Amino acid sequence: MRAVDGVSIEIGSGEVLGLVGESGCGKSTLGRGILGLLPEGARADGEVLYGGRNLVGLPQKALRRLRGPDLGLIFQEPMTRLNPLSRIEDHFRETLKQHEPHLGEREIRKRSLETLGKMGIPPTRFRQYPHEFSGGMRQRIMIALALVLRPKLLIADEPTTSLDVIVEGQILALLADLRQNFGTALLLITHNLGIVAESCDRMAVMYAGRIAEEGPVRDVFADPAHPYTRELLRATISLDTKELHSIPGAPPNLMHPPPGCRFHPRCPDAMQVCVSEQPVERRLDGDRRVQCWLHGPEQRIPEGGRQKLDRERIGIADEA
């Protein structure tokens, strides 16, 4: 099984790339794979180039040196990431001492409290244990632990989950500050397309382990090139929403992905060619790319491939 298959993305210094898609499409696996944090037994191939260095296959000792000051990760589940036996100050002391051993206790405390303060956590709570915080506050502590080292590349996996809109705004402002003042590159993994519209330069849409579409946020929102992107945007709720829209069905089991285009069983625009042929990547105007037969190339489409798929004849349901 390939949880991530043939993905190619690029993030420049000071740039924010939003990675969106339904649950189970491989977004978190991609983020952790970049940092070499895959589960035991998982295997990665290909290249992850950071500063001209391929991270795939690096010894864990070398990767651990990069994690923190170079590569940061905000985990999705704060409940399981904080040691229940250690105070919050101990978490920060251990993190900073591991990567910046020259720092004294005063500087450690100052930097820790400054970062926590930006997350809305007062100094009076610095010596408390994780169980004394709510789930939302634990999430803020996890974010502060990732940011205190000012990493050059930060992978944020659903950083605003379970947080109210006020704290969400504070966190997005802090991420923007890192980007502007320290040139931090950010991979923002999220289901919230509103956050992508507000905070990201480019977006990549992931489905069933592959990148369906990538391009500048403004262009993708204005004119989505892939049917999956279009359906995701239609499912977004706004003040103008009059009726709810959803995509029939669910992402496929990656143990046995469908042949051809992996979205074709759910795609309203599926054609005969989509059932058997995996679409090739096409470059569009405005620095955009898409994998969809609606955009050719014509020379690869067999005779009759442009015909609309007879979904009823081949037994593809329109409902989950």
pLDDT in tens, the chain (320 residues): 888 988 999 999 999 999 999 998 999 999 999 988 888 888 888 899 998 889 988 888 888 888 888 998 887 766 667 899 999 999 999 999 988 889 999 999 999 999 999 888 999 999 999 999 987 788 889 888 988 988 899 999 988 776 778 878 878 888 888 888 888 899 999 988 989 999 999 999 999 999 999 999 999 999 999 999 999 999 988 778 888 888 999 999 988 999 999 999 999 999 999 998 999 899 998 889 999 999 978 767 777 777 777 654 444 544 43
Q: Is 18 helix (H, G, I), strand (E, B) or coil?
A: strand
The residues pairing with 210 across neighbouring beta strands, listed in sequence order, are 207
Q: Is 31 helix (H, G, I), strand (E, B) or coil?
A: helix
Provide the pLDDT for residue 142.
Answer: 87
The CA distances from residue 314 to 22, 70, 269, 311, in Å, are 26, 50, 15, 6
The predicted model scores a pTM of 0.88
Q: Determine whether domain 16-204 maps to CATH 3.30.420.80.
A: no
Provide the pLDDT for residue 207.
Answer: 96
Give Cβ neighbours of residue 142 (< 8 Å, ≥ 6 apart): 74, 75, 78, 81, 82
The CA distances from residue 113 to 95, 96, 148, 283, 288, in Å, are 14, 13, 10, 47, 42
Whole-angstrom distance, CA of residue 140 vs CA of residue 79: 11
Pairing of strands 185-189, 202-207: unpaired
Q: Where are the domains of the chain?
A: 16-204
